[in-house]
Structures are given as structure tokens and as C-alpha cells.
Structure 1
């Protein structure tokens, strides 16, 4: 009937208009910058997704939006956030790191000698190392070794640390650099503590330490973490003191012997009886 035909035509028109509306919304959405576009059920920004999300689908979409929004040179602060976020995401992060690295190369940020670009360059190396993309990280470092910070330098030059680096170890060092003179090792496994020492004391210049730290000494906070393992003395009696156990761990480490070799006056002593989990490594030069 004519009514049925008319209804069918109107329905087709509605579908066509709806399609145009959806297409318009999609185009407008793609044109937005990465800072305003929302992704996922919670409608988070791409950087928030990279930092917090564990959804592979949302992370892939966030990465795409992040690159699209930065058609030009990305701002250094956001680059650092993105790379450090990638470092904390363990699952299949290698491909994402390489993609973002290519974006940095495309924008010639690696050729920039500014301090902010240096931070981005170094953060990229650390993130690539954490995602076990050693070959890419080394090639990036070799391109401009003078444009990296002390952490990236120590990480790439120390093969053992580079091959075994973990996020807890990097986080402990970043927190120490932020706090100035306090290295909190509480809760770290022995493996992580060993990596931290290898990085901190890699060269005689101790370039990872701040001037205040070299002047006042480094406070080592050990607490009662996994590194305070139980061992047995000569009488086969278990000793549970975190202080004694941790000191033994240090003195059995070749890294601690290397630390002591820097100066005959280097001391490793408890801060106070009120704080049995904190030690002071003095006379750092």
C-alpha cells in the first residue's frame, strides 16, 4: 500500500540522517586533542588511561589518540608522564614503547638539547629498558649519549642492571632523586635492592646523588621488607633482627664493598635506636 511505502521511505531517511549524525560526531571526536578526548567506560583522558588502565583495548585507543593529538612536537612534561606510565604497564608494552619512540624521532625531539628534551630522552630509555626492549633503548642511547641523565647513563652502561631492571628499583631511585637525601628500600626484594645499588654506585662520580645528599649523607630506610631475610648463625639459631640481617646482606654484596672502596672514612651506621630501620651512609663524595 501507499502508506507502507511512505513509512518505508521515511525509515530509510531516518537511518540516513542518523548515519550522518554519527559520522559528524566521529569526525569531531577525532579532531579533538588528546587532552580532551575521553576513552573507556569511565571516560578518562588518554594520559589517564596510560597511567591507570590495564585494559589492552583502552590502552591501544589511548595510544592512538595520544599520537593523533600530538601531530606536532609533544610537550615534554606529558611525554615523561606517558613514558613512565608505559614503564608501569607490563603486558605487551614493548610494541607500544617502540611506537611512541618513533613518534619522538619523527618530531626530532631527540635532537633537542633543552633540559626538558633531555628528560624525555632519558625517560624513553628507561621505559624501553623496563619493557625489555633493550636493543631499541641501546640504539637510542648510542645516538646521543650526552643527551641522557645520570639514571639512563648508569642503566645502559651497566649491563647486569639493564638486563634485570625492575619497576620497583626504578621507582625507589626516582623517589630518592625527588626527596634529595633519602633512599627508601622498605619492602623491596633482594633482587631490587641489588639493582638499586648497581645503579647508584655504578661510577665513582656518584652522579645520581644530589649535592645535598653528597654533603649530608644518604639515609637508607630499610624497614622490615622482603630484603630482611632470616639467616642462621654458627649455632644454627635463627636471628630475626632486620638490622643485623640487612647489614649482613650489604656486607655480602660486592656492591657494598665497591661503595666502601670509594673512601676509607665511609660509614654505614644506624641513625638512632628509635628508628631501627634507617641507616646513614656518610661521607659520600
Structure 2
């Protein structure tokens, strides 16, 4: 059954007033996989002042019961580029319970945003870092791909109709396309900004999102000048709205209510022909339900 997906992003102004990110050459290096005993989600690593934060959707860490964590322990997986060609994974474990007690986990009370401070940077050299207690690397490589703190797109600069990228780990797709989909690597989706609600700081994205995408960054593609392209974070994936098309709902209801009155223009069972027509006449209107190539189409004919 066909469904139309509309995704909802929470504007990044909920995290910080001034923030920016520059995309790396490989999209895999930008999003972060967040996994714990209750599920998975996505996020990204951003630098503010001399600290590095994991930024994600609040419900990925807390569900609906903040400040009660869904799980005290989570694992992060991030890709980082070594040199010019190799991209390798970094895995670390974070003790969310310890960090929450230490005041290093913060969340918005009315927005679906949470941040976790995981490391401090030297004021003189951003490459010299000190990871906070509760952070344990499980991989030999320790360097992380962190977005630079220069420009985040404020909500007022988000453009309806602008193209966007959605980064994340939609792990719920694993069962559907197990043969070709590696859930340990992120997927990049493309869509457009369909609408903005400045009052609620939410952005509507015309782009499919699935369970596991929550918390992943949404990037607006901008062209400030000829032959120039700029990428800015406009928000985090907060949810999606699957919408079943109305004509399909009506067709299904009609079939269930009118089954006894159906007149087949063929045999009693669906043949292998490309098209089978069901007809029903009520009140001068004839409704034809056509099965063609396994797709259902509803046609209304008046006075015929």
C-alpha cells in the first residue's frame, strides 16, 4: 500500500543561537549511530567553544520520560577519514547515567533536543582533546569527525523549497533490504523543505524518514554565489508522519461494504490478466475498481 512520508525536524536554534558545521568530503563521517538496549537513533558531533557535544533528539535518549534515561549506557559509532582515501569506524561507549549525574547531559523541556558533552578541547589547539569520565573508546582509533563551530542556519534563514540532505542510521530498514543494506553505515537521503512553523521551531521536510533516523542532522543546500555551494545544519530529525492516501482508504472501505453487491466483469477469481474490473452502480453513479499490475485504482463515473 502506497504511503506518503512527511518528516519533521526540530530547528537547531533550540541547541544554540550561533553554530555551524562544515560537511566533510565523505557523508559517512558526519552522522553518529547511537545504540542502547532500548533501540537506536542518530546524531552528530558539534563543537561549541572548547567542548564537543553529541547532539540528538531527546526521545532517542529519554523516550517520553525525561529525565529518566532509556538506558544508562549507549554506544556511539562514527566514521572518520584518515588521510585522503580511507574511512574507518570509531566506536565508543558513553555512561549516560554518570554524565547525567555530573550535569553533562542537557535537554530541552519543550523541544525534542538533547546534548551530551563528551570531550574538552585545548583553548590553543582544538586537536588536543580530553575525554570526560564516562567515555570509553572500544576501537583503537580515537579521532572523531567533529563539525566546526562557525555557522548554524537560524530558523529565519531556512527556505521553503530548499533542497536538503538527511543523514542518519535508519536501522529499521534492515529487515526489508537485508541483502543490500548495511545498518552499520549511514544512509543519505535527499528532499526539500516543505514548510516551516517558526512558532514551534519545527520544519517539515518532504523526505522519507524511518525508525533510527531520529536525531540525525538535516542539512540545507545553499548556493550563495555562482558556482558556490554551502551546507548548513537546519535541524534534527524529530519524527515522521506516514499518510495513507485517501482514495485507497475509500476504495478499501467500499470493497468491504459492497462485497455482496459486486458484479464481476470476469470470473469469480482474479485472473492472470493485466486488468480486472469490478463495477457497482448506486444512485446513478458507477464506480469501477480496476486491478492493473497489482495496483488499485478507483474511478468514479457519473451518469454513465
TM over 0.5: same fold?
A: no
**Whose RCO is larger (CA < 8 A, sep 6+)?**
2
Please identify which structure carries the higher helix content: 1
Shorter-chain TM-score bucket reads: under 0.3
Please identify which structure carries the higher strand content: 2
Bigger radius of gyration: 1
